[in-house]
């Protein structure tokens, strides 16, 4: 595929449909077809400036799944030079949403935003990749992306169902490190001076997912159903905390994702735990400092480039160690994506694992750092699965360790 083989622009088909009926949609698109057309045209004539930055490109070594390749294909389907087929549609799902390409794009192109809408068009045409079937079935049955049984149950001594302060845990924390939910509940009680209410009780009496991975499949009706019927009531809450960067990013106007429609006025904008910890740790410091010279930090792409929480994460680290983190290899803008996003892992499990191992290897090359700390549960889980011989943990696990929780 060459840069100069662009077909003449035709009337592009709409990428989104107007909501049906009188009820407000659960999700509002934040980009118009014109925005997408502008972005895909920029990519078409670009000398692939961001190619090196993409985790899918690195893991799969295929031109088709570079940011340029995916956006070029989107442009061709918009021009109707290429018909949307299951094979074409599948290509749009190879973006993890990390937004790293945007950090190197002179046009500030938001590739995941464009591809999210391309997936909605694919899903409307019944072309969600079959590899995502188990993830969708798990959402239908459990309201989470993972079907695996979770043996953990919340400690009734930790949470107060009557509290007006809510805590909605990340479903990757639930799946990979469920005991941390109790510890975070205790941490919040210590720092806030009151117990919190555990939010998101699903069909199996466990917290549900906010729906981000389901939205990333492009299946808008399924996401709407999840938001309208499976989202827990947040009635009576005055504050809502979460350790899920995706849930926080839903409410971040600058993120790539379509906004949730808060038709229910009781629904609150969530605060990520690092935002509250950044202030609370300084006022109520742990007895034990963390030795930051041992720590190599991996900034999660969802925490930095979608939820804009890299500064808060660094503030937490500084408060825990009392110093600057000396072993910081990647900053919050250019940090590499580990490939751990649920849809990409479902679609390309081996490539996702290769990418996680590659990022873990890079983090491990520091001369003094022996611990890897990721700012999100999703990444800590993916990195640890790929390199179980390394000491890899999450930032919130580190906080609980400092407080001996």
Bridge partners (DSSP) of residue 394 are: 374
Q: Does 303 bind ligand SF4 (CB under 6 A)?
A: no
Gap between the Cα atoms of 314 and 381, Å rounded: 20
Using CB under 6 A, which of the segments 77-85, 108-116, 167-175, 237-245 binds ligand SF4?
A: 108-116
Site mask, ligand SF4, residues 228-267, x = CB under 6 A?
----------------------------------------
Does position 43 bind ligand SF4 by CB under 6 A?
yes
Closest approach, Cβ 63 to ligand SF4, in A, equals: 12
Instruction: State the sign of the Cα–Cα–Cα–Cα dihedral 253, 255, 258, 260.
Output: negative
Between 337 and 356, CB nearer to ligand SF4: 337
Residue span binding ligand SF4 (CB under 6 A) among the ranges 8-16, 77-85, 106-114, 259-267: 106-114
Exposure b/e, 312-331, CB count within 10 A at least 16 = b: bbbbbbbbbbeeebebbbbe
Tokens in use for 240? 């809502």
CA distance 282 to 284: 6
Instruction: Verify binding: residue 354, ligand SF4, rule CB under 6 A.
Output: no
How do strand 239-242 and strand 165-168 relate by DSSP bridges? Answer: parallel
Give the pair of three-digit tokens for residue 299. Answer: 């900034």
Among 95, 227, 292, 381, which residue interacts with ligand SF4 (rule: CB under 6 A)?
95
Rule CB under 6 A: choose which of 16, 91, 109, 313 binds ligand SF4. Answer: 109
Closest contact distance (angstroms) between CB of 38 and ligand SF4 is 10
Residue of 216, 264, 257 lying closest to 26 (CA atoms): 264
Nearer to ligand SF4, 120 or 275 (CB): 120
| 275's tokens | 């935002």
CA 87, 88, 90, 94 torsion-angle sign = positive
Residue 55 as a binder of ligand SF4 (CB under 6 A): the answer is yes
Residue 36 sits in the site that holds ligand SF4 (CB under 6 A): no
69 torsion bin: left (phi>0), alpha (psi -120 to 50), beta (else): alpha
- Binding residues for ligand SF4, per CB under 6 A? 42-43, 46, 48-50, 53-56, 67-68, 71, 95-101, 104-105, 107, 109, 111-112, 337
């Amino acid at each position: 595929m060459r840069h100069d083989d662009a077909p003449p622009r035709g009337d592009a088909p709409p990428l989104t449909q107007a909501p049906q009926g009188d009820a407000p949609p659960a999700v509002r698109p934040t980009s118009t077809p014109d925005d997408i057309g502008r972005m895909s045209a920029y990519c078409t004539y670009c000398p692939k400036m961001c190619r090196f930055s993409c985790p899918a490109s690195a893991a799969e070594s295929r031109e088709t799944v570079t940011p340029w390749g995916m956006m070029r294909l989107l442009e061709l389907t918009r021009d109707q030079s290429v018909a949307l087929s299951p094979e074409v549609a599948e290509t749009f799902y190879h973006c993890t949403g990390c937004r790293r390409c945007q950090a190197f794009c002179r046009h500030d192109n938001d590739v995941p935003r464009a591809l999210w809408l391309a997936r909605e068009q694919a899903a409307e045409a019944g072309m969600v990749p079959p590899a995502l079937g188990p993830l969708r079935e798990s959402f239908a049955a459990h309201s989470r992306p993972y079907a695996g049984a979770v043996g953990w149950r919340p400690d009734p001594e930790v949470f107060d169902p009557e509290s007006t302060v809510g805590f909605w845990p990340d479903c990757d924390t639930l799946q990979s490190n469920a005991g941390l939910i109790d510890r975070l509940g205790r941490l919040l009680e210590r720092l806030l001076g009151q117990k919190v209410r555990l939010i998101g009780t699903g069909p199996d009496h466990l917290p549900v997912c906010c729906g981000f991975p389901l939205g990333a499949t492009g299946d808008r009706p399924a996401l709407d159903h999840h938001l309208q019927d499976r989202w827990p009531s947040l009635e009576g809450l005055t504050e809502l905390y979460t350790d899920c960067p995706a849930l926080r990013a839903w409410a971040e106007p600058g993120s790539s994702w379509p906004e949730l429609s808060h038709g229910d006025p009781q629904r609150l904008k969530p605060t990520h735990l690092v935002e509250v910890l950044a202030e609370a740790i300084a006022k109520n410091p742990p007895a034990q400092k963390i030795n930051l010279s041992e720590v190599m930090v991996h900034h999660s792409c969802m925490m930095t480039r979608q939820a804009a929480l890299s500064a808060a994460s660094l503030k937490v680290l500084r408060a825990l160690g009392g110093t600057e983190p000396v072993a910081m290899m990647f900053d919050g803008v250019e940090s590499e994506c580990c490939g751990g996003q649920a849809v990409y892992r479902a679609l390309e499990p081996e490539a996702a694992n290769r990418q996680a191992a590659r990022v873990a290897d890079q983090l491990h090359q520091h001369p003094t750092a022996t611990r890897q700390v990721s700012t999100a549960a999703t990444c800590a889980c993916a990195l640890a699965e790929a390199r179980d011989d390394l000491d890899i943990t999450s930032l919130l696990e580190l906080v609980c360790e400092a407080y001996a929780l």
